[in-house]
Amino acid sequence: MLEIKDLHAAVDGKEILTGLTLSIGPGEIHAIMGPNGSGKSTLSYVLAGRDGYEVTGGEVLLHGESLLEMTPEERAAAGVFLALQYPVEIPGVTNMSFLKHALNGVRVQRGEEELDAAAFLKLVREKTKTLGISDDMLKRAVNVGFSGGEKKRNEILQMSVLEPSLAVLDETDSGLDIDALKVVAEGVNALRGPARSMLVITHYQRLLDYIVPDFVHVLAGGRIVESGDKNLAKELEAKGYAEFVPEAA
Amino acid sequence: MTVQVPMDDASRSYLDRFGELRPRLPGSGLPWLADVRDAGAAAFGETGFPGRKTESWRYTNLASLKKVDFSADADPMPVDQASLPALVYGRESSCRLVFVNGGFRPDLSAIADLPGGATLVSFREALAEWPDLVEQGIQASAPDASDPLAALNAAFMSDGFVLHLKEGVSLEAPVEILAVGTGAAQAPVYHTRNLVIAGRNSRATIVEHHVGLCISSYFSNQVTNFLLEEGALVRHCKVQDESREAFHIAHSTARLGGDAQFDSFAFSLGGALSRNEIHVRLEAPGATCRLNGAYLMKGRQHCDNTTVVDHLSPDTSCRELYKGVLDGEAHGVFQGRITVHPDAQRTDGQQMNRALLLSDKAEMSSKPELEIYADDVKCAHGATAGELDDMALFYLRSRGVPEEAARGLLVEAFLGEVIDGMALAGMRLPLQKNISKWMGDRR
């Protein structure tokens, strides 16, 4: 489903990803763990197409189509969703309006009809109910004044509305206490399905107790240095990254 | 009449024209008015059009205005009823005064039955029917003599609207003023004088819409005097959508008595060069004003918002928020002066202006000034100019919102703070539509 082949990427002329290869099948959940500076966030931004992340080699295919030439909005329409580590605050744009523009943006690009106000409202109501998101949160400006937990739940709400085929979760656990983490993880687990693959990027094993991955990879120095099943995460938790990354203290 | 001859030809030609037109200007039989006109001409004659060395005009260059040979008495191109609906906002207004090239057009206007104690007439009619009222209004709000364009207006003022509310009179529906600029055989200039005299505890909302029905140049030189007695509430909402070749210079003065409230909102998107200059005097305890503005400028448009607020009494407050979006080579100017006079303790003055630059060549000039002569005051000002937030743009796009739509959303959100904060809720939607259209036209 997702094929990343020998991916090289640079930021400000400095190479961060140095030949990353990864293959994710339909419905699989892969976790990428790694120390700070190993390239975790760079990988997520390269997949989503953020400006300033320059791909210098390799390729990324989603459903056999190259992602790298696409704009961020085209990637969204193709099924890519990046849940940000630090969701952005947008004063003046309500959450509801944001969701509607996002969903209809994706639909129009796919050649589908835009949803009218009533149909859209019905859809959002269904999604918010399962995530425990209040109407009040929908009326507020995107992420403005949201707690850490609310911001992350909001990301999951966007994901559930857009129904991507590839969800990339960048450090979704950061800034969350254990209760908030459980709520977010439940939301993510509810979205697991045979047609939806996920790439869970995290520094700590803790998140993986709640979102249990099929595969775990260790990212160091800009590429994958070790792969295994969920037990690899436990091993990392016990031993730290030093074994895989001799240069990381 | 003695007029000192100014240095430049353009200014001199206005004075020559004044000499010719003077006998034909409205109210020519009123000695006090003749004095006001002559004083205006003399004041203008001392300086002529302000140049860059005049501090308050440092960022707004009138060279292009001086190049055009405007005519003060050219016949306007015809405008009929059929062309009006597209120009007005929202629902059918029961009270609308229409002006074409500055001249009142009763045939296009509709004046509903206003409550007793409320009078709404053209300036010309007011001069004929209630000269004492006009005299009182103009004398009481003598415009800042240091502004040459207001002085020019005093010399030439020929039409406009006069709204008078007696004590306790409250107008439920907004009064609508539609000022249409059309072409003429020669590019026209018109000097409009409006008067709003709000008696004790009266209330009114005025919506002014200035719109160009031509692509050619004209010069609209507006002066509006607001006099708010104790407890009066006046809301003024102005939309400036003049022709892209037009000059729109508007000078407003407001004097506020105790507990009076003045709300001013100016939305500017037209004109080659426009300026909204407001002078507010808060003269008694409890007087409060809100001065807000939003603008969208592109190409080589120039938009200047200048505010001068004098806190003359204890316990007065003022809130100012101006936000603009500049594209192309557009130039925005904000000048805001707040003066807290020696006895004006417990003054609360807040001023903010923010500009969003959508192009590398767009430019913003800001000059906030605080002069504080009292010790127990709360005053703050701030100014920012910057680009759209990259991260917010990426966030929207990563969720599937196409780039231009994402930019549009962010621009609407940026201006939303001013639009949502304006007192007149019914104007919000049409203004938001204006923003969407403007963003759409950029593509």
Q: Output DSSP code: residue B81.
A: G
* Distance (Å, whole) CA B344 – CA B143: 22
Could you read off the pLDDT of A163-198 as tens digits, one per residue? 999 999 999 888 888 888 888 898 899 999 999 999
Could you read off the pLDDT of B315-340 as tens digits, one per residue? 999 999 999 999 999 999 999 999 99
DSSP H/E element including B181: strand B175-181
In a domain, A215, yes or no: yes
Instruction: Mark yes or no for CB contact A87/B395 under 8 Å.
Output: yes
SS (H, E, C) B365-433: EEEEEEEECCCCCEEEEEEEEECCCHHHHHHHHHCCCCHHHHHHHHHHHHHHHHHHHCCCHHHHHHHHH
Bridge partners (DSSP) of residue A65 are A62
* CATH at A206: 3.40.50.300
> What integer pLDDT is reported at residue A249 of this predicted model?
40
Could you read off the pLDDT of B158-182 as tens digits, one per residue? 999 999 999 999 998 899 999 999 8
DSSP H/E element including B441: helix B428-442
Could you read off the pLDDT of A214-245 as tens digits, one per residue? 999 999 999 999 999 988 888 888 888 877 76
Average pLDDT, chain B: 92
Instruction: Mark yes or no for CB contact B396/A101 under 8 Å.
Output: yes
> What integer pLDDT is reported at residue A130 of this predicted model?
77
In a domain, A249, yes or no: no
- Enter the tokens of residue B367: 């000059």
Q: Is A49 on the interface with B (CB under 8 A)?
A: yes
DSSP H/E element including A125: helix A117-131
In a domain, A219, yes or no: yes
Starting at the edge strand found earlier in the chain, the sheet holding A166-170 runs: A80-83, A166-170, A197-202, A29-33, A215-220, A223-228
Contacts of B45 (CB under 8 A, 6+ apart): B3, B4, B5, B6, B11, B15
Could you read off the pLDDT of B273-321 as tens digits, one per residue? 999 999 999 999 999 999 999 999 999 999 999 999 999 999 999 999 9
Task: Give residue A191's Cα distance to chain centre.
Answer: 13
Closest chain B residue to A155 measured between Cα atoms?
B399
Instruction: Tell me which chain A residues have a C-beta less than 8 angstroms from the C-beta of B397.
Output: 49, 71-73, 76
In a domain, A29, yes or no: yes
For residue A38, CA distances in Å to A28, A195, A222, B61 come to: 23, 29, 6, 55
Instruction: Tell me which chain A residues have a C-beta less than 8 angstroms from the C-beta of B400.
Output: 73, 76-77, 102-103, 105-106, 109, 162
Closest chain B residue to A51 measured between Cα atoms?
B394
Which three-class secondary structure state does DSSP give residue B217?
A: coil
Q: Is the pLDDT of residue A248 over 50?
A: no
Q: How many domains does chain A have?
A: 1
Instruction: Mark yes or no for CB contact B395/A93 under 8 Å.
Output: no
Could you read off the pLDDT of A46-102 as tens digits, one per residue? 999 999 999 999 999 999 999 999 999 999 999 999 999 999 999 999 999 999 999
Instruction: Mark yes or no for CB contact A109/B405 under 8 Å.
Output: no
Contacting B residues, span 385-404, partner chain A, CB-CB under 8 Å = 389-392, 394-403
Q: Is the pLDDT of residue B2 over 60?
A: no
Q: Is A101 on the interface with B (CB under 8 A)?
A: yes
Place of tokens 């003060």: B72
Query: Crossing angle of helices B31-47/B9-21, nearest 10°?
Result: 170
ipTM attached to this prediction: 0.95
Closest chain B residue to A91 measured between Cα atoms?
B413
Which three-class secondary structure state does DSSP give residue B167?
A: coil
Task: Give residue A85's Cα distance to chain centre.
Answer: 9
Instruction: Tell me which chain A residues have a C-beta less than 8 angstroms from the C-beta of B413.
Output: 90-93, 141
In a domain, A245, yes or no: no
* Distance (Å, whole) CA B213 – CA B241: 10
Where in the sequence is the domain holding A111, given as residue range(s)? 2-239
CA A77 to chain B, closest CA, distance in angstroms equals: 6
In a domain, A94, yes or no: yes
- Enter the tokens of residue A13: 């002329």
Q: Is the pLDDT of residue B208 over 60?
A: yes
Cβ–Cβ under 8 Å, residues A200 and A169: yes
Can you point out the beta strands (E) in chain A? Answer: 2-11, 14-24, 29-33, 53-62, 65-66, 80-83, 90-94, 141-142, 166-170, 197-202, 215-220, 223-228
In a domain, A88, yes or no: yes
* Distance (Å, whole) CA B85 – CA B209: 13
CA B19 to chain A, closest CA, distance in angstroms equals: 53
* Distance (Å, whole) CA B251 – CA B277: 5
Among A75, A80, A102, whose Cβ lies nearest the Cβ of B401? A102
CA A219 to chain B, closest CA, distance in angstroms equals: 24
Could you read off the pLDDT of B113-156 as tens digits, one per residue? 789 999 999 999 999 999 999 999 999 986 666 799 999 999 99
Angle at B17 between CA B238 and CA B78, to 5 degrees: 50
In a domain, A247, yes or no: no
* Distance (Å, whole) CA A139 – CA A3: 39
Instruction: Tell me which chain B residues have a C-beta less than 8 angstroms from the C-beta of A77.
Output: 400
Instruction: Tell me which chain B residues have a C-beta less than 8 angstroms from the C-beta of A91.
Output: 413, 417
CA A8 to chain B, closest CA, distance in angstroms equals: 21
Instruction: Mark yes or no for CB contact B409/A93 under 8 Å.
Output: yes
- Enter the tokens of residue A84: 């940000």
Instruction: Tell me which chain A residues have a C-beta less than 8 angstroms from the C-beta of B391.
Output: 88
Could you read off the pLDDT of A20-30 as tens digits, one per residue? 999 999 999 99
- pLDDT-wise least confident of A123-132, B86-95, B434-443: B86-95
